[in-house]
């Protein structure tokens, strides 16, 4: 629905913009087309983002942004008074920016209240069914329907919030930015472990193990690529369970031509590593979205996630969906703590063939 509010004014009058997205790392990457679209249409504007502190790495090097404002989810553990103090300090900083436009991509009440308290004259939000009521409407000057979101990728959903601005052009390109020193740090690690020339990055882990392939199938794939003469670099997050999974995979592979940087890289260093790789192989995870954003050829393994929403946007290579090889449960019914490996429906040969075809 649309509120009864004046249409946004011309581009020159929008000088200060705040984008709000309070979600996970991958979600932040998929916000970059909104950032780019606003930058293209308001080239002189200050564009800021409000996000969760732990996701800052995804946007910290983005050249189109001015400032990242972060909410630390640990504030609530400091006690009521300290928590309130941090929240009020953040609000004061945001109000001081005197925003002309707030683009609230989030669905939390906190995001709506912050949107309202900025005092921006244009405050866009989604008309989420679960948020219909006076307060949500009051926090925004215009609400954009979500009726067609079930058929749109997350990138397209995000961009749809800009419709009231009637922008002449939108960018659908996802970007992942890093600094030269991030690649230099990777080069040093690669040289130290004897990797010279081209290499393949393999990310077998996700923080949700139901999105992972079995160690045995991943090891068989790596062994086939080792036999083809490729150098392999295995990565993972810093979590001990993820690193243990990598160790189990490596124990099943020949030692030659494979190294592990599991848990050793920052997200921006990982982006640099993926950007310089000749191929990325991985499961549904943040690094997979990075590979797609960086246009590194990839073989992406998908299980019961909503493919319409979360397939790697603008990816080159192959997306292999477990649902093509057997029945998957409803994504909304998944117990995220399960030990079930839904990707195990995918045969090893399919992944090896996709990797070889992409490398050819």
What are the Cα distances from residue 300, in Å, to 20, 141, 286? 29, 40, 11
Which tens digit of pLDDT belongs to each residue from 218-254?
Answer: 999 999 999 999 999 999 999 999 999 999 999 999 9
| pLDDT of residue 9 exceeding 50 | no
What integer is the mean pLDDT of 70-96? 93
Residue 3 binned pLDDT confidence (cut-offs 50, 70, 90): very low
Residue 207 binned pLDDT confidence (cut-offs 50, 70, 90): confident
How do beta strands 142-144 and 200-203 pair?
unpaired
How do beta strands 258-260 and 279-283 pair?
unpaired
Which tens digit of pLDDT belongs to each residue from 89-126?
Answer: 999 999 999 999 999 999 999 999 999 999 999 999 99
E strand intervals along the chain: 16-20, 46-52, 67-71, 101-104, 122-126, 142-144, 200-203, 232-234, 258-260, 279-283, 298-302, 317-321
What integer is the mean pLDDT of 79-85? 92
Using CA atoms, how far apart are residues 139 and 120, in angstroms rounded to an integer?
A: 10
| pLDDT of residue 1 exceeding 70 | no
pLDDT above 90 as % of the chain: 88
pLDDT at position 212 is: 93
- Roughly what angle, to the nearest 10 degrees, separates helices 240-251 and 215-227? 50
Using CA atoms, how far apart are residues 201 and 232, in angstroms rounded to an integer?
A: 6
From the list 312, 296, 317, the residue with the least C-alpha distance to 155 is 312
pLDDT at position 7 is: 43
pLDDT at position 210 is: 87
Q: Reduced to 3 states, what is the DSSP secondary structure of residue 104? A: strand
Report the Cα 331 to chain-centroid distance in Å.
19
What integer is the mean pLDDT of 341-347? 95
Please tell me the number of Cα atoms within 13 Å of 51 on its side-chain side: 23
Tokens of 179: 């600094």
pLDDT at position 340 is: 86
What integer is the mean pLDDT of 66-73? 96
Order of strands, sheet of 67-71, starting from the edge strand that comes earlier in the sequence:
67-71, 46-52, 16-20, 101-104, 122-126, 142-144
Neighbours of 139 (CB within 10 A): 21
Residue 333 binned pLDDT confidence (cut-offs 50, 70, 90): confident
Tokens of 269: 């260093």
pLDDT at position 339 is: 81
Contacts of 329 (CB under 8 A, 6+ apart): 304, 342
pLDDT at position 12 is: 54
- Specify the higher pLDDT residue, 160 or 331: 160
Contacts of 62 (CB under 8 A, 6+ apart): 32, 35, 175, 177
Tokens of 354: 């996709």
- Roughly what angle, to the nearest 10 degrees, separates helices 348-359 and 215-227? 40
Kind and range of the H or E run holding 354: helix 348-359
135 phi/psi in degrees, rounded to 5: -65, -45
Q: What average pLDDT does the structure give for the chain?
A: 94
Whole-model pTM: value is 0.93
From the list 171, 132, 179, 142, the residue with the least C-alpha distance to 37 is 171
Q: Is 147 exposed, middle or buried (0-12, 13-18, 19+ CB in 10 A)?
A: exposed
Q: Reduced to 3 states, what is the DSSP secondary structure of residue 178? A: coil
From the list 181, 171, 161, the residue with the least C-alpha distance to 293 is 171
Kind and range of the H or E run holding 132: none
């Amino acid at each position: 629905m649309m509120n009864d509010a004046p249409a946004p004014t011309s581009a020159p009058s929008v000088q200060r913009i705040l984008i709000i997205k309070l979600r996970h790392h991958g979600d932040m990457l998929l916000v970059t087309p909104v950032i780019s679209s606003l930058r293209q249409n308001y080239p002189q504007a200050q564009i800021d983002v409000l996000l969760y502190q732990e996701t800052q790495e995804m946007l910290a090097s983005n050249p189109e942004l001015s400032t990242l404002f972060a909410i630390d989810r640990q504030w609530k553990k400091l006690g009521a008074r300290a928590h309130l103090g941090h929240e009020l300090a953040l609000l004061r900083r945001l109000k001081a920016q005197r925003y002309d436009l707030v683009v609230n991509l989030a669905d939390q009440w906190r995001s709506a209240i912050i949107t309202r308290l900025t005092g921006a004259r244009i405050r866009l939000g989604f008309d989420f069914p679960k948020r219909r009521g006076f307060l949500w409407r009051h926090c925004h000057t215009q609400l954009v329907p979500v009726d067609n979101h079930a058929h749109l990728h997350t990138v397209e959903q995000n961009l749809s919030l800009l419709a009231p601005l009637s922008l002449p052009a939108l960018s659908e390109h996802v970007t992942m930015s890093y600094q030269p020193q991030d690649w230099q740090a990777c080069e040093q690690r690669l040289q130290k472990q004897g990797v010279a020339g081209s290499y393949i990055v393999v990310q077998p882990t996700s923080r949700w193990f139901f999105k992972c392939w079995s160690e045995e199938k991943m090891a068989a794939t790596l062994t086939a690529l080792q036999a083809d003469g490729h150098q392999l670099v295995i990565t993972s997050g810093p979590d001990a369970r993820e690193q243990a999974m990598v160790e189990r995979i490596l124990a099943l592979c020949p030692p030659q031509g494979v190294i592990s940087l599991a848990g050793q890289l920052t997200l921006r260093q990982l982006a640099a590593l993926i950007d310089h790789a000749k191929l990325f192989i991985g499961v549904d995870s943040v690094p997979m979205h990075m590979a797609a954003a960086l246009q590194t050829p990839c073989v992406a393994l998908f299980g019961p996630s909503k493919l319409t929403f979360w397939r790697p946007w603008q990816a080159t290579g192959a997306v292999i969906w477990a649902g093509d090889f057997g029945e998957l449960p409803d994504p909304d019914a998944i117990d995220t703590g399960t030990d079930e490996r839904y990707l195990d429906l995918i045969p090893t040969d399919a992944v090896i063939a996709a990797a070889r075809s992409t490398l050819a």
